[in-house]
């Protein structure tokens, strides 16, 4: 198991680079992944089944013990990202399937990669996970509702198909994973070390399918517009998520401290693009361009998330900002150390 864990750590460390190389490879050799076009729902189901296997009763209790932060973070996600997507479609004059794809990825829940980025930046991972759970469980209801409201001007939105597909690839796998964990607890816990590997391989398969299926369309003039839109969408999500959490700190300082601000930033800015790609391929099969924005997002948000988490960590170290500081005050790490030293009695006392 040590070798499996070591490989999982290596895969996580280099996942962004692997995603880029894999996407480029499938662009030039599409036959590699085209076989999986009919199985993207199952691939995503594997990811969310793995998520369900890792969930315990404590994870759901956390949603009840700190409901304000979790609910506010989830609402912020489902308000900010869809509206930013619509605004960018209007600014860049996107229409048809491409606009639908941008709005679809904007309506998706937060991505699983956000947990890793929150951890790397020393954010509140527990809050990150809780918001991710709630937003994912809400996704089958929120995605059709938001798409019907925001995207129906571009194409006919198959709301019922979106709902059924989302239930099939989101709720069922998570519920099955939770049940399996409850029944086979000790046996499941022995293999959880391999779950990140399985999930990341499944995500790579989805990315490969989307790139292979849309290769000829990815870099035509109309599709290229999706690149700046996706980048701005993600960056606006980070900025607005952080700004919103800073504002909430003024309202409720106890619950929206510096570590929580980081968690909400990543939860708002990072989308479950694998779900977006899967729903685009299943519910908008007649509009293949709808999957293109999710493809770009899959690559870009791993790059931006890695850069932001690394910058945040270095920034905090440079300015001696303690992870548990109230609002990211400079010198809080030194103060925390001094307070700890003053509270410690001498050995000979």
In a domain, 1, yes or no: no
In the chain, the number of structural domains is: 1
Please give the C-alpha separations between residue 346 and each of 42, 63, 163, 341, 349, in angstroms, as whole numbers: 60, 41, 63, 10, 5
Each residue of 260-292: pLDDT tens digit? 999 999 999 999 988 998 899 888 888 878 888
In a domain, 105, yes or no: yes
- The whole-number pLDDT of residue 341 equals 42
In a domain, 260, yes or no: yes
Residue recorded with tokens 């299926």? 213
Identify the burial level of 54 via C-beta atoms within 10 angstroms of its C-beta, where 0-12 means exposed, 13-18 middle and 19 or more buried. middle
Each residue of 99-124: pLDDT tens digit? 999 999 999 999 878 888 888 888 89
Task: Give every residue of the chain whose pLDDT is below 70, as ranges.
Answer: 221, 331-349
In a domain, 25, yes or no: yes
In a domain, 348, yes or no: no
Residue recorded with tokens 């293949």? 288
Q: In the 8-state DSSP scheme, what is residue 340?
A: H
In a domain, 2, yes or no: no
- The whole-number pLDDT of residue 263 equals 93
In a domain, 349, yes or no: no
In a domain, 178, yes or no: yes
- The whole-number pLDDT of residue 109 equals 94
Is the Cβ–Cβ distance between 294 and 101 less than 8 Å?
yes
Boundaries of domain holding 104: 7-342
Contacts (Cβ under 8 Å, ≥6 apart) of 276 = 101, 104, 105, 108, 291, 293, 294, 297
- The whole-number pLDDT of residue 221 equals 67
Reading the block at residue 310, the tokens are 């690394």
- Please tell me the total number of residues recorded for the chain in this structure: 349
CATH of the domain at 257: 1.20.1530.20
- The whole-number pLDDT of residue 104 equals 96
């Amino acid at each position: 198991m040590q070798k499996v864990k070591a490989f999982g750590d290596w895969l996580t460390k280099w996942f962004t680079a692997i995603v880029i190389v894999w996407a480029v490879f499938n662009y030039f050799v599409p036959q590699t992944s085209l076989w999986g076009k009919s199985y993207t729902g199952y691939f995503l189901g594997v990811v969310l089944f793995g998520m369900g296997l890792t969930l315990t009763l404590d994870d759901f209790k956390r949603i009840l013990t700190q409901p304000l932060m979790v609910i506010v973070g989830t609402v912020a996600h489902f308000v900010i990202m869809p509206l930013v997507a619509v605004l960018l479609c209007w600014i860049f004059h996107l229409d048809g399937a491409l606009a639908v794809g941008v709005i679809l990825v904007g309506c998706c829940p937060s991505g699983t990669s956000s947990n890793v980025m929150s951890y790397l930046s020393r954010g509140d991972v527990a809050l990150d996970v809780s918001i991710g759970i709630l937003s994912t469980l809400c996704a089958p209801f929120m995605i059709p509702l938001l798409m019907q409201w925001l995207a129906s001007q571009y194409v006919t939105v198959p709301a019922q198909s979106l709902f059924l597909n989302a239930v099939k690839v989101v709720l069922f796998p998570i519920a099955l994973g939770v049940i399996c964990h409850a029944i086979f607890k000790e046996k499941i816990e022995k293999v959880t070390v391999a779950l990140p590997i399985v999930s990341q391989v499944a995500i790579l398969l989805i990315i490969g399918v989307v790139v292979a299926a849309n290769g000829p369309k990815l870099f035509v003039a109309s599709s290229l517009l999706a690149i700046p839109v996706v980048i701005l969408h993600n960056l606006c999500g980070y900025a607005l998520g952080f700004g919103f959490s800073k504002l909430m700190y003024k309202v409720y300082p106890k619950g929206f401290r510096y570590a929580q601000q980081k968690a909400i930033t990543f939860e708002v800015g990072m989308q479950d693009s694998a779900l977006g790609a899967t729903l685009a391929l299943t519910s908008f099969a007649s509009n293949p361009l709808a999957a293109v924005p999710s493809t770009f997002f899959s690559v870009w948000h791993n790059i931006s998330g890695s850069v932001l988490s690394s910058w945040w960590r270095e920034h905090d170290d440079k300015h001696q900002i303690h992870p548990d500081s109230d609002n990211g005050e400079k010198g809080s790490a030194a103060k925390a150390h001094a307070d700890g030293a003053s509270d410690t009695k001498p050995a000979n006392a």
